[in-house]
Amino acid sequence: MNNKKSKMIIFAFIAMGAALIYWAIVTQPAPQNKDVQPVTMDNKSMSYSGNTITEAKNGVKLWEMTAEFIEVDAATQNVTLKNINGKFYQPNGIVVTLTAPQAQYEAKAKNITIAGGVHATTTDDSDLKAEKMFWDAAAQTLTGEQNIILTHGDTVIVGDKIETQDGFQKVKVSGNAHITKGGAQ
């Protein structure tokens, strides 16, 4: 009996070995097309055309940016956006909508620098022009810098820097600041 069991065990191993060899041959992957270049770990960035990134806190959307072109640094997760349309949702319900040629999103701090000439409007009819804007995620503050002009109704505010946390309902203006009522500057 022991001899018969030994032969059966040897036959089982041979059958399993043959099945393994057959499986390896039959399931061999098809050769890759040499024109297709696989993604490698050497790539330092990923890029997309026409995409949107958003930020939310406790289920409430804080902002969203749609861009014609987005590039993400694979190491830092920082994002470069080109030709953007953005929206910042304020706690008081006002939405600040803006356009600009470019923006940078800093993933670690969640801050955004928007540059190249920014034009922003609000749902309560304010209009802001600035060379740059900055979203400070920690303070939840929008700051406009360089040649700012804020118009709301017949009030025009100009200065070098403007800050708001509520969609330009209340603002802090500094650097060559002045306010004009009646629409004239």
Q: What is the pLDDT of residue 36?
A: 41
Residue 25's region, left for phi above 0, alpha for psi from -120 to 50, else beta, is: alpha
At residue 19 the predicted structure's pLDDT band, cuts being 50, 70 and 90, is: low
> Which residues have C-beta within 8 Å of that of residue 117, sequence separation ≥ 6?
100, 101, 129, 131
Contact 88, 142 (CB under 8 A): yes
Cross-strand pairs, 39: none
Helix (H, G, I), strand (E, B) or coil at 90: coil
Average pLDDT (45-57) is 83
At residue 134 the predicted structure's pLDDT band, cuts being 50, 70 and 90, is: very high
Q: What is the pLDDT of residue 37?
A: 38
Q: What is the pLDDT of residue 18?
A: 66
Q: Where are the alpha helices (DSSP H) in 1-118?
A: 2-26
Q: Which of 96-100, 161-165, 168-172 has the highest mean pLDDT?
A: 96-100
Query: How does the average pLDDT of the chain come out, rounded?
Result: 83
At residue 41 the predicted structure's pLDDT band, cuts being 50, 70 and 90, is: very low
Contact 103, 83 (CB under 8 A): no
Q: Which among 183, 115, 116 is positioned nearest to 149, based on CA atoms?
A: 183
CATH of domain 65-181: 2.60.450.10
Comparison of pLDDT for 119 and 37, the residue scoring more:
119
Average pLDDT (115-127) is 93
What residue type is 105 in one-letter code?
Y
CA 1 distance to own-chain centroid: 72
> Which residues have C-beta within 8 Å of that of residue 79, sequence separation ≥ 6?
53, 70, 71, 72, 73, 104, 105, 107
Helix (H, G, I), strand (E, B) or coil at 28: coil
- Angle CA(110)–CA(67)–CA(107) in degrees, nearest 5? 15
